[in-house]
Structure 1
């Protein structure tokens, strides 16, 4: 097979997958109707949410599951036949096809015990070990929850009020997207059909009409939804041959969400309360996996000082699509912590192994860490296009190298002994309210 024939076949097969997966939207297929939270909280969280037993069966999928499944099967056979069973890019393409087959099984099993089984196949479990470590995700989540609940959080807390309405948030984000991507590349718009405050898909950010935001929320949306989720989508669309890199199956979720959280951290956009919410998600998944029902998970967070709204939100995210009595739940929310740790470890390892040039490939499209060495090789061959949109710290790796170099060295210190030393000094401090700099709104 000539190189030009191979590339044309790769492009055609990739484009077929992009087309087939288009109507498969997991979150749309498992979302709850508005009003459930109000009725649940009106009963003081003592009764399971009022979802009828046949709720999911009455929610028609936006695609013909049997037909799409058959077309995916035919596509996988064509990938093997046209690219060869041992072709490396073909194997990534096949793995992505397999993921969409499991997604179809997941959606057909909504509201049943099998839903949780397929969710674990796609996203993993809170009881999984962190790659290369003995700790489980639940253990890490508990540790992070503790850190982000320490008294120091209250010392840092300041009244970042949610004074920005949806229309103003759209205006602010639209300007920031233009600055980062250029004019007319990304759309920011009001939405009435999303449950979360905001969401990103393709080249568009949706803002919930009913939501209000703080200045920090806008910063988080800029880097999380814009730089990462939309940035990797647009970079994937720049691919001349591997066009499937523009779409994300569940196999890439952890790296996507983890990178988004990492960018929040590197740009100092995040804050302890948000980090706590992300950590809580791992704990919520584990509790529900172990059999706690919706009310029990909800009360677990209430008893730990989480607000009624946030307790409901973290619980609802886990139980959508599954069974309200626990055991079979949506495990996607482990991806934020899991992906953050794996991305950090990947970057540190690339630096220590002397191959920092591979790091920008994290943004080449929708990828997994295991894909990156091969994709980098194909980038050097000219088959894969390099990422067009890169966050500043990934364009010039010098600062990132130093940051991770210092963090790698510091992680080897015995923090318990260091803290004992400084605690002797801190005990002498008087109790005082920390000095807070004025916000942008206050300066205006």
Structure 2
């Protein structure tokens, strides 16, 4: 098949996939009414949340599951027939189609034990082992939870209050993101229809009009929602043939969310409380998977000192779509920690393998790490367009190479012995206020 003919075939099949996935909105299909939270706190958190009777059955999907399944199956057959079973891009398309088939089954089973089974097939389980390691996600989540809950983390909490209104946040973010994106490519807008404080769309970021923010919050939103989620969408939209790279099935969630969390750390935008939230989500998923009900998970976090509103939010994220009695849960929140670890290991491996030039492909669109070698080959051949929006440290890879090169080299050091050496010094230190408070006081004077 000639190159031009092949590219046209890829585009036709890719556009068909875009059209089929358009009505599928996972989070909209499993969201809870805001009244549920109000009633829960009115009952002082002593009773399970009260979802409306037949809530999921009465919540329209926006598509017919049987018809949509048949259409995806037809597209999979057409992809294999036209591109061949061994074609790289065709394989990515077929694996994406398989994901949407699972999504249809998951959403058709909302509120039932089967929902959790399909969710695990899509997003994994907290008891899954990390790729190439014996540790489970739950074990890593617990270890990170210990680190980010240490007294030293509390010492670093800056005196930032949530004193930035939603309206001001819109203006600030629009100005900052205007320095990263081309004029008119991104909008930051107020919204009264989202549960979270902020959410990214194709070329916009919605800000909850009832939320307020700290400076830290805005730093995170800028790189997490803006640079990564919107940036990869816009890069995918610029693809002339592989147009499906502008949308994400669950198979790309870990790479996307992990890359977003990684960018928070590389730009020093994150903070211990934010990192703790990522590890807490793994613990919440595991507890619910093992049979803890909504109240068990909610009170686990309140008893640990998390504010009631935050404890409700992290618990609600896990139980939406599943059963309040536990066992059947929405495990998407594992993606943040799993994806972070996998992205870090991918970057380190690319550097040690002598192929750092593939790293900008992390931003080419909505992808998995396993897709990158295939996409890079087709980039060299002209079917895939390189990413337009790339954070500076991925555009000039020198600093990134050195950073991860040192990190890889230091991994051979016995950190237990190192820590025991320095602990003898730390034990003699007086317990004082954080250094930054003195710096701030001096600046004020």
Counterpart in 1 of 2:431?
A: 431
Q: Secondary structure at the match of 2:207?
A: strand
Counterpart in 1 of 2:216?
A: 216
Q: Deviations over 1:158-206 (max 9, x none)?
A: 2211111111111111112211012100111011110000000111100
Counterpart in 1 of 2:197?
A: 197
Moved over 3 A (4+): none
Counterpart in 1 of 2:368?
A: 368
Counterpart in 2 of 1:263?
A: 263
- Count of residue pairs the alignment pairs up: 441
* Pairs within 5 Å for 1:332-371: 332-371=332-371
TM-score, normalized by length of structure 2?
0.97
Counterpart in 1 of 2:300?
A: 300
Q: Tell me the CA shift for residue 50 of structure 1.
A: 0.8
| Cα distance in structure 2, aligned partners of 1:300 and 1:42 | 19
Counterpart in 1 of 2:90?
A: 90
| Cα distance in structure 2, aligned partners of 1:305 and 1:407 | 34
Counterpart in 2 of 1:281?
A: 281
* Pairs within 5 Å for 1:218-257: 218-257=218-257
Q: Deviations over 1:6-56 (max 9, x none)?
A: 111110110111111111110011111112222212323221001134111
Counterpart in 1 of 2:380?
A: 380
Q: Secondary structure at the match of 1:380?
A: helix
| Cα distance in structure 1, aligned partners of 2:54 and 2:341 | 38
1:45 aligns with 2:45: yes
Q: Tell me the CA shift for residue 415 of structure 1.
A: 1.6
Counterpart in 1 of 2:75?
A: 75
Counterpart in 2 of 1:180?
A: 180
* Pairs within 5 Å for 1:388-403: 388-403=388-403
| Cα distance in structure 2, aligned partners of 1:142 and 1:425 | 27
| Cα distance in structure 2, aligned partners of 1:41 and 1:144 | 30
Q: Secondary structure at the match of 1:206?
A: strand
| Cα distance in structure 1, aligned partners of 2:23 and 2:192 | 20
Counterpart in 2 of 1:60?
A: 60
| Cα distance in structure 2, aligned partners of 1:376 and 1:174 | 32
Change (3 A) 1:430 1:31: same
Counterpart in 1 of 2:416?
A: 416
Q: Deviations over 1:261-311 (max 9, x none)?
A: 000000000000010011000000000000000000011111111111111
* Pairs within 5 Å for 1:19-168: 19-168=19-168
Counterpart in 1 of 2:7?
A: 7
Q: Which moved more, 1:50-59 or 1:341-350?
A: 50-59
| Cα distance in structure 2, aligned partners of 1:409 and 1:336 | 25
Q: Deviations over 1:211-261 (max 9, x none)?
A: 000001001000000000111111111111111111100000000000000
Q: Secondary structure at the match of 2:384?
A: coil
Q: Tell me the CA shift for residue 104 of structure 1.
A: 0.8
| Cα distance in structure 1, aligned partners of 2:87 and 2:431 | 65
| Cα distance in structure 1, aligned partners of 2:363 and 2:330 | 26
| Cα distance in structure 2, aligned partners of 1:229 and 1:262 | 13
| Cα distance in structure 2, aligned partners of 1:151 and 1:314 | 23
Q: Secondary structure at the match of 1:188?
A: strand
| Structure 1: stretches of 5+ with no match in the other structure | none
Q: Secondary structure at the match of 1:207?
A: strand
| Cα distance in structure 1, aligned partners of 2:152 and 2:38 | 33
Q: Which moved more, 1:65-74 or 1:401-410?
A: 65-74
| Cα distance in structure 1, aligned partners of 2:244 and 2:404 | 31
Q: Tell me the CA shift for residue 376 of structure 1.
A: 0.7
Q: Which moved more, 1:304-313 or 1:387-396?
A: 304-313
| Cα distance in structure 2, aligned partners of 1:62 and 1:34 | 21
| Cα distance in structure 2, aligned partners of 1:99 and 1:390 | 27
Q: Which moved more, 1:206-215 or 1:45-54?
A: 45-54
